[in-house]
Amino acid sequence: MVKPDPDYVQKRIVCSDVERARESLLNPKIIEQKKEERTIDELAKPLIEVSLKEGIETVWDRYEKQQPECKFCAQGLSCSRCAMGPCRIIPEHGRVRGVCGADADLIVARNLLDTIATGAAAHSDHGREIVETLHKTAIGEAQGYTITDGVKLRRIAEEFGFETARLTDEELARDVALALLEEYGTTKNYVQFSRRAPEKTQKIWNATGITPRSVDREIVEAMHRVHMGVGADYTNILLHGLRTSLGDGWGGSMMATDISDVLFKTPEINESTVNLGVVKKDHVNIALHGHNPVLSEMVVRAASDPELLELADRKGAAGINLVGLCCTGNELLMRKGIPQAGNHFNQELLIATGALEVMIIDYQCIFPSLPRTAGCYHTHIVSTNPKSKVPGSLYYAFYPETAMDTAKAIVKLAVENYENRNPNTVLIPGKPMRVVTGFSVEAIKSALGDTWKPLVDAIVAGKIKGAAGVVGCNNPKIKHDYGHVTLSKELIKRNILVVETGCAAIASGKAGLLRPEAAELAGDGLREVCEALGIPPVLHMGSCVDCSRILVLLAELANAVGVGIDELPVAGAAPEWYSQKAVSIGSYFVASGVYTVLGPMPKITGSASVVELLTKGLFDVVNAAFAVEPDPMKAADLMEKHIEHKRKKLGI
C-alpha cells in the first residue's frame, strides 16, 4: 500500500500551535455583523460564526489584519525586480523614477505583464500535465486511465492533419499527445488551436502582431521583458501581455480542457447538488480541491472499491462521500455529477463542518494555511503534487503510473480517520441546492438540435439580447458571492444569456441560478427560450481552464454568422477575481474581441497611460477593452450597453 512520502514527513499542526483570535470576537453583535458583511452564502454564515467564536482564522480575518494596504503596491508603483531596488514611485517626494530610471508607466506595465505571464503559466502547466497523462495512457504507462472520448480525440487529430482511419485510439492518442506537447515550443509560429478562431479575429491578431507563436515562448519572452532594461515602452510591453494570454486561452488552457474531455469524458447535461450541505453526517467525507482532475478522477473510482466500502462499513460509516471544491470540484461536477461543496471562500469553512476526514489538494487557489485550520479538527490535508508541497500536510506523491494505488491509499486514510471525528463539533449547516450542469460546447449544441441556428435566431429576434461570460474567483474586497450572483441575476433579467465557469458558476449554483426553474427570474424572451429547451438561464461551462470552452463557443457562433468575435453581442465579467490566472483570462477575452468588466481594480492606477490604454486604447487595436466596476448593478449596465451597441452595428 502507498504511504506518505518518507522524504517529506511533516509534523501535523496542532490546534494549540495555531494563533487564535477570540477575545474581541465573543461579542454576539460583532459576530452577527461580520457574518452578514462577509458573505451572501447562507450556509457559510453559521460556519463563519463558529470560526469567529472559536477564534479559527479565515481569509476575512487575515484580510482585516492586512489593512491598510500599501498604496504604492495597490497602484502597481512598487518594483523589486533587481538588487538596485526596491523602488517606489512617489511623485510628491520627487521620486518619479526607480534607481534604473524606470518611470511609473513602465513599472506598472511590467508588473502587469508579470501577472499575466504567471496566470498563463499556471493554466498551461496544468494543460501539459494532462497531455502527458494522455501520452502515458496511450503507451500503457498510466495506471487506471482509458480514452473515454475517442470521437473528440479524432476531431483533434484531424486538426493536426493526421490520417485517423487506420489508427486505434491509443495509437492516435500517442500522436496527438506528442503533437500537443510540441505546441509548448512549436517553431511553426502559431499554436494550432488558435486556428479555431474566426478568420476575422485571426486577421486582427496578425495585424497587431499578437498571434501566439507557442505557449512557452510567449511566457518566457514575458519573463525576459520584465527584466531590468529590456524595453521601456509600456504599450509594447502590454501587447505582449495580450499575446501571452492568447497562448493560454487558445493554447495551454484549451489543451487542458480538450484532453481532459478525451480522458475523462466530454461533459453532458447532468444534475447534482452544491453548497456546504453536501457533506454527509454519517459518511466518510473526502474533499477534492484544486484544479487538475488527473488524481481526483482516480479517487472517484477508488471510492467505489468494494474493500474500501467494506472498511468504511466496519468503521461505522454509511458510505464514502466525495465532494468537490473550486475547480477540481468543477471538473468532477461537470463530468461525473460529484456534489460541489463550494468555491474559493468555502475551503476553510468546509473543514469547520468538523465532518471532513481528508481534503486532497492538487494545486492553485489552495490557502497555504489550510493545515493550520485542519489542526483544530481531525481533518488531514493531503498534498499530492510534487510542485505543490504544503507544510503540515501529508504528502502522497502522485504520478499517473501509480495513480490508482495512490488514490486507494488516500481513500483508506480517510476511512480510517472517520473514527477520530468529534461528533460534538460537527455542524452541517443546511440542505444542498440542486443544480443542472455539464454545459460543454458539445452539450449546448446538442441541446439546440446540433445546430447554432435556434440560438442565432433567438438573438436576431431579440428574445435573447446577447450573451455574457461571468467568470472568476472570490476576493475579500467584494462580499463573498455578492458580485457573481447580483450580476448574473441582473443580466438574465435583461434577457442576456449567462455562461459561467470557476467560482462564479459555483456561486450561481448555491444561489439556485443553475436550475431550469431560475428561468422565472429571466426576462420574458430568455425565459421563453430556456423553458422551451428546459435549461437554466445561467449555464455552467466548467473550471477556470474551461474558459477555453467559452472561446470555442464564441468562435462557433461567430463562424455561424460569418463575423469576428469582436462583432458579436457579447461581454465578459470577472466580478470577484483575485488570481493571476483571472488576469490572463480577462486578457485573452479582450484580445479575442470581448469587452470585459472587472470587479476589483487591478494594480494599474499608478499609470494614467496604462489605464487609458487598457480601458480605451485597446478598442483601436483589438476592438475590445477592459472596464472596472465593482458595483455589479453598474457592471450590468455597462455590459448591456455594450451588447446593445454591438446589436446596432450588426443591424439587429
Which among 370, 363, 361, 271 has a CA at the least distance from the CA of 324? 361
Q: Which is nearer to ligand SF4, 107 or 410 (CB)?
A: 107
Distance CA 153, CA 149 (A): 6
What are the distances in angstroms from CA 233 to CA 110, 609, 612? 10, 11, 15
Q: To the nearest whole angstrom, how small is the minimum distance from the Cβ of residue 506 to ligand MSK? A: 8
> Are the beta carbons of 548 and 250 closer than 8 angstroms?
yes
- Positions that interact with ligand SF4 (CB under 6 A): 79-82, 84-87, 98-100, 102, 107, 228
Q: Is 241 in the site for ligand MSK (CB under 6 A)?
A: no
Q: Which of 35, 344, 412, 642: binder of ligand MSK (CB under 6 A)? A: 344
Distance CA 254, CA 36 (A): 38
Residues 6+ apart with CB under 8 A from 111: 76, 79, 603
Chain Cα centroid distance, residue 202:
25
> What does 579 interact with, of ligand SF4, ligand MSK, none (CB < 5 to 8 A by kind)?
ligand MSK
Q: To the nearest whole angstrom, how small is the minimum distance from the Cβ of residue 509 to ligand MSK? A: 13
Beta bridge partners of 129: none
> What does 86 interact with, of ligand SF4, ligand MSK, none (CB < 5 to 8 A by kind)?
ligand SF4
Q: To the nearest whole angstrom, how small is the minimum distance from the Cβ of residue 73 to ligand SF4? A: 13
Q: Do the strands 358-361 and 284-290 form a parallel or antiparallel pair, or are they unpaired?
A: parallel
Q: Which of 333, 444, 473, 643: binder of ligand MSK (CB under 6 A)? A: 473
What are the distances in angstroms from CA 14 to CA 25, 78, 277? 22, 37, 27
Q: Which of 137, 186, 244, 579: binder of ligand MSK (CB under 6 A)? A: 579
Q: Is 13 in the site for ligand MSK (CB under 6 A)?
A: no
Q: Which is nearer to ligand MSK, 50 or 365 (CB)?
A: 365
Q: Which is nearer to ligand SF4, 226 or 553 (CB)?
A: 226
Beta bridge partners of 496: 466
Three-state DSSP class for residue 64: helix
x/- site string to ligand MSK, residues 489 to 528, per CB under 6 A? -------------xx-------------------------
> Are the beta carbons of 508 and 485 closer than 8 angstroms?
yes
Q: To the nearest whole angstrom, how small is the minimum distance from the Cβ of residue 342 to ligand MSK? A: 10
Rounded to the nearest 5 degrees, what angle is found at the Cα of 511, between the Cα atoms of 509 and 513?
Answer: 60
C-alpha cell at 257: 480542457
x/- site string to ligand MSK, residues 254 to 293, per CB under 6 A? -------------------------------------x--
Three-state DSSP class for residue 344: helix
> What does 369 interact with, of ligand SF4, ligand MSK, none (CB < 5 to 8 A by kind)?
none
x/- site string to ligand MSK, residues 297 to 326, per CB under 6 A? -----------------------------x
> Are the beta carbons of 99 and 520 closer than 8 angstroms?
no
C-alpha cell at 156: 483533434
Q: Which is nearer to ligand MSK, 345 or 418 (CB)?
A: 345
Which among 352, 265, 260 has a CA at the least distance from the CA of 60? 352
> What does 581 interact with, of ligand MSK, ligand SF4, none (CB < 5 to 8 A by kind)?
ligand MSK
Three-state DSSP class for residue 225: helix
> What does 104 interact with, of ligand MSK, ligand SF4, none (CB < 5 to 8 A by kind)?
none
Beta carbons within 10 angstroms of residue 184's beta carbon: 21
> Are the beta carbons of 341 and 326 closer than 8 angstroms?
no
Helix (H) or strand (E) holding 499: strand 496-501
Q: Which is nearer to ligand MSK, 55 or 586 (CB)?
A: 586
Q: Do the strands 466-470 and 496-501 form a parallel or antiparallel pair, or are they unpaired?
A: parallel
Q: Which is nearer to ligand MSK, 354 or 599 (CB)?
A: 599
Beta bridge partners of 435: 272
Phi-psi region of 337 (alpha: psi -120 to 50; beta: other; left: phi over 0): left
Distance CA 74, CA 89 (A): 12
C-alpha cell at 443: 452539450
Size of the site for ligand MSK (CB under 6 A): 15
Q: Is 544 in the site for ligand MSK (CB under 6 A)?
A: yes
Q: Which stretch binds ligand MSK (CB under 6 A): 168-176, 307-315, 574-582, 644-652?
A: 574-582
Q: Is 470 in the site for ligand MSK (CB under 6 A)?
A: no
Q: Which is nearer to ligand SF4, 105 or 149 (CB)?
A: 105
Q: To the nearest whole angstrom, how small is the minimum distance from the Cβ of residue 243 to ligand SF4? A: 22
Q: Which is nearer to ligand SF4, 226 or 317 (CB)?
A: 226
Q: To the nearest whole angstrom, how small is the minimum distance from the Cβ of residue 336 to ligand MSK? A: 18
Q: To the nearest whole angstrom, how small is the minimum distance from the Cβ of residue 331 to ligand MSK? A: 10
Q: Which of 312, 327, 394, 639: binder of ligand MSK (CB under 6 A)? A: 327
Sheet of strand 538-542, all strands in order from the earlier edge strand to the far edge: 538-542, 496-501, 466-470, 570-574, 596-598, 626-628
Q: Is 469 in the site for ligand MSK (CB under 6 A)?
A: no
Q: Which is nearer to ligand SF4, 101 or 316 (CB)?
A: 101
Distance CA 20, CA 31 (A): 15
> Are the beta carbons of 340 and 347 closer than 8 angstroms?
no
Count of all residues that appear for the chain in the document: 652
> Are the beta carbons of 635 and 606 closer than 8 angstroms?
no
Q: Which stretch binds ligand MSK (CB under 6 A): 30-38, 186-194, 212-220, 579-587?
A: 579-587
> What does 509 interact with, of ligand MSK, ligand SF4, none (CB < 5 to 8 A by kind)?
none
Q: Which of 76, 472, 512, 632: binder of ligand MSK (CB under 6 A)? A: 472
Q: Which of 45, 123, 336, 581: binder of ligand MSK (CB under 6 A)? A: 581
Q: Which stretch binds ligand MSK (CB under 6 A): 248-256, 483-491, 577-585, 625-633?
A: 577-585
Residues 6+ apart with CB under 8 A from 392: 10, 11, 12, 13, 371, 372, 374, 375, 381
> What does 84 interact with, of ligand MSK, ligand SF4, none (CB < 5 to 8 A by kind)?
ligand SF4
> What does 102 interact with, of ligand MSK, ligand SF4, none (CB < 5 to 8 A by kind)?
ligand SF4
Q: To the nearest whole angstrom, how small is the minimum distance from the Cβ of residue 606 to ligand SF4? A: 12
Distance CA 339, CA 333 (A): 6
Q: To the nearest whole angstrom, how small is the minimum distance from the Cβ of residue 258 to ligand SF4? A: 39
Where on the chain is the footprint of ligand MSK (CB under 6 A)? 291, 326-327, 343-344, 365, 472-473, 502-503, 543-544, 579, 581-582
